[in-house]
A and B are shown apart, each in its own frame.
Chain A
Amino acid sequence: MKPPPFAYFRPGTLDEAIAILGRTENAKVLAGGQSLMAMLNLRYVFPDALVDINDLFELSGIEIAPERIRIGAMTRQRRIELDAELYEAMPIFRDALKLVGHRQTRNRGTIGGSLCHLDPASELPTLALLLDAGIETAGPAGVRRIPVGEFITGYMMPGIGPDEIVTAIEFAPWSVAHGHAFHEFARRHGDFAVASAAVMVERDRQGVVTRCAIAIGGIGSVPQRHGAGETALTGSDGGPDAIAAALESCAGLDILGDFHGGPDYRLSVARTMLRRSLTAALARASERTQQA
């Protein structure tokens, strides 16, 4: 189908964009458009105006510092996927991005757009949650930095005001010896996941897990941290018993059924993805710790 009519604005500065949002009723921000344009074509949404932020070049770029990595909201997914320095510091981004849509959609799709769309099955919100990222926004009241846990307020509901724009995501990199993995199951390559599991771990030279983060996407109304699983792993030897405990406690997550299958099915898929991700991440952490 074709989109409904709307007014179109393409501001040249962030201030102008915020001002337009402030004075326009029922306006939507157009970033990469890889979800919004499809929703417009299907007439799922009827905005009165689109504010196209593709000319806000200052919102695009990747800055890597030892304590902090910052990715501008308008950075295209494909650029993040291919960035060599980011791959060096946080290789999980490339693993996750390979699962986001297809090359044609990653060429235009942005990280900020993905975060604001907040599909529970999409990879970038799950990754932001995994990394305890801060989401930076700009609005009439100035700049805010929202912890990702507060940004994710509900099913496809980002915690930002109608006149605020997400400008960047920031997070602290993990040690060079960390292990990572991002596994998901989707019906077809590039589709939204039935379940996904993202894992980061650090181990000491004896193999003891010193730090662990787990995020599960796809199964509930929002991506979720798997706190019980993190507790099971942290301080353990990362062996089969610890992994089994982490898988067992997945039952405590919020799980919804859908046309792919009921909650039992999705729980079982989530466990399989988590087993794969934990196994891979633990092995990588051991390898890198030995090399370091």
Chain B
Amino acid sequence: MVDIRYDLAFKLYPYEPIATQTQPAQRRPVVIVGGGPVGMATALDLGRKGTPVLVLDDHEGVGQGSRAICFAKRTLEIADRLGAGQRMRDKGVVWNVGRVFHGPEQVFEFNLAPEGGHKNPAFINLQQPYFEKFLVDEIRVAQDEGVPIEIRGRHALTGLEVVGDHVRLEVDTPDGPYQLEADWLIACDGARSPIRDMMGLSFDGRVFEDNFLIADVKMMADFPTERWFWFEPPFKDSGQSALLHKQPDDIWRIDFQLGWDIDRAKELREDNIRARVDAMLGEGAEYELEWTSIYTFQCRRMAQFRHDRVIFAGDSAHQVSPFGARGANSGVQDAENLAWKLDLVVKGLAPDTLLDSYAQERAHGADENILNSTRATDFLTPKSEMSKRFRNAVLELARDHAFARPLVNSGRLSVPCVYDGLSLNGPDRLDGPARTRVGAPCVDATLADGFLLDRLPGQFVVLSLDVDAPQIEEVDGVPIHHVSLDLSVDDPNDMVRARYLGDAPYAIYLLRPDQHVAARWNTAGADDIRAALRIALGKGAEI
């Protein structure tokens, strides 16, 4: 028996019995449990690099109802590298302007309009089911090209045991159970991670004592494509805060912060939801309720993301409140951080300790995300009389005074973290811009023909700017791709110069497969590059 816990928006991987059901357990190099955004992104990235992956999901497709709606620039950049970015941009709603209200009055508005020279906008709004579908569609394209990815729908993991050099898995299907073996198991099984429970691992943090009613409504309305956020909203029974935000297909996301002591069943009744939405949108507004749900939010993470041969990624490893849109966005960064490392380990090109750097770097990212979303939640839900007084003082001052606006926190929108000071970082021998320092993700820039990030495949890259780099093709069997720019020709808008050189006349960057900077120099010899690359492979201590 495999329980169905939710309805599907798209049936993408219908159940199929497998031929080997009654045979001895088959061994797979990598099994991913959970076909959410993180599991699918990991599968696509690993598969495209040539490492065979098997994805097990206990459902036959993507769940109905959009949880995530805001997808950030870094996520779109990763999706571009994986081949799914264009469809996300085409379908998604680009937005830049946000308005913050306190009661009936506007406190201020902000504009996220990114600086020029980026292929991707700061954010798009897109229903999570589309995001997941586009990834799965791209997996189908990849499969047709011979990329070794297999997806099994309605195959639920029910048990596991780590035995020496592999993990033994118990899988259940409508045709009964079978066994599998995996060299590596990636747990992308969501915030309630059954794998975490099977292994008896804890998931500690804070639960916010508050309930949020989410209503996605379909309507033809001429509200602008902006994010509208109310503190102490003026409409009847709308709770402590409210949000209105546009999605594709004429759907609008509405959130109401209802407080802790509520009668869930009552609040979820259609007439009660409609009363609230009517009050917000005004009498006579015509709309359909697409999807409604009540959530409580928490911020917590596992102490360790790697447990020997079992590696946790996405919501199973860390969970944040959604103010700031950091859940799926950070999970996709987990996926891309893990994919290149596990690929090299599976191929025997890097020691398995490289995977510890995954745990280290992404725990650093999770802490940053948890800190940000905890602060936003504390601003939204003041925990004492005094904190509420300060919160309201900020909102009152922000109406007239610019200085108070940066203190208003309705969610600091997701940006990728910099792996400052962590173990894979090589030398920073360039007096260059801080934003592209060692550990930082590469910043996009418009080139004479196209965009910089599109020139960086998922491999190590030596990027040389106005200088010759040593032509090393590989280090310890790991291939290096070279991108060499002549800025007088390739950088007509001086963007690469501003973002990568600053006052330096020329530079050599070593970039990781996930487009984070591994090392940079004015000039570097072959030995410098080899040494830095070995550090980035987790072999730093051996040299």
User: Are these two chains actual partners, yes or no?
Assistant: no
Which residue numbers of A lie inside 8 Å of B, CB to CB?
none
Which residue numbers of B lie inside 8 Å of A, CB to CB?
none
